[in-house]
Structure 1
Amino acid sequence: MESIVELEQVEVLFTESGKPFKVRRGGRVWSVAVEPTVHFSRVRWWEHGRRIPRGSGTRIDYAVWLVQVRLGSNERSELVSWELVEDTWNNVWRVR
């Protein structure tokens, strides 16, 4: 399994309820077209040689959203499935 920092960084916009609805990747804006689902995974800190400082507030669980997106708002654009992976160490989102 690749390291999370090897994944491409993307910008994710969320609804007020906390669900992703737009993703900016490679200068293009993709729209979430199907209701996204989320699950949580655990940081493998021992593989990165990092320790989570006590009291730092850094979480050991991170969100992974499964989204189906299409380019822009074109209803005829082909659906593509991505996993949006929360990088809690760097406070960014990445795509797998």
Structure 2
Amino acid sequence: MTTTANETSLKVPVDVRFSPTGRPLAIRHDGRLWVITEEPLHWFERDSWWQTRTNAPVGIGNIVDIEFWRVQVKLSSNSALRTFLLRREPASTQWLLDAITDAG
């Protein structure tokens, strides 16, 4: 799947490489390695699990925190700067690319 700038609600699975401290370093998307060039922005939002799921299994762990990273990435030193919005649902290990926008 090829994406373009300003495309929203992608929800495409991506591989994210993290540093030992938990900071994202690079993202593999669409067969390419995007390197993070600036300090990323990290936050959590709450999921309304009672509206999206009929039950919450005992012992599943955190089912309400949706994790986000907003990162600026490049393919190479002379390529255009893009902003990726990454999302990870509660109790999931898979990162999703939520949106790509032009950084400028």
Same fold (TM over 0.5): yes
Distance 2:28 2:82 in 1: 14
Gaps of 5+ in 2: 1-8, 99-104
Give 1:53 deviation, angstroms: 1.4
Specify the SS of the correspondent of 1:9. strand
Q: Does the CA contact (< 8 Å) of 1:63 and 1:85 recur in 2?
A: yes
Give 1:50 deviation, angstroms: 4.0
Q: Does the CA contact (< 8 Å) of 1:52 and 1:58 recur in 2?
A: no
TM-score normalised by length of structure 1: 0.81
Specify the SS of the correspondent of 2:50. helix
Give the fraction of aligned pairs with identical amino acids, expressed as a percent.
31
Distance 1:85 1:18 in 2: 15
Structure 1 pair 39/45, CA: closer, same or farther in 2 (3 Å)? same
Runs of 4+ in 1 over 6 A off after TM superposition: none
Q: What is the one-letter code of the residue matched to 2:87?
A: V
| CA displacement 1:16-70 (0-9 Å, x = unmatched) | 1101111011111100011101010112223323432122224311210010011
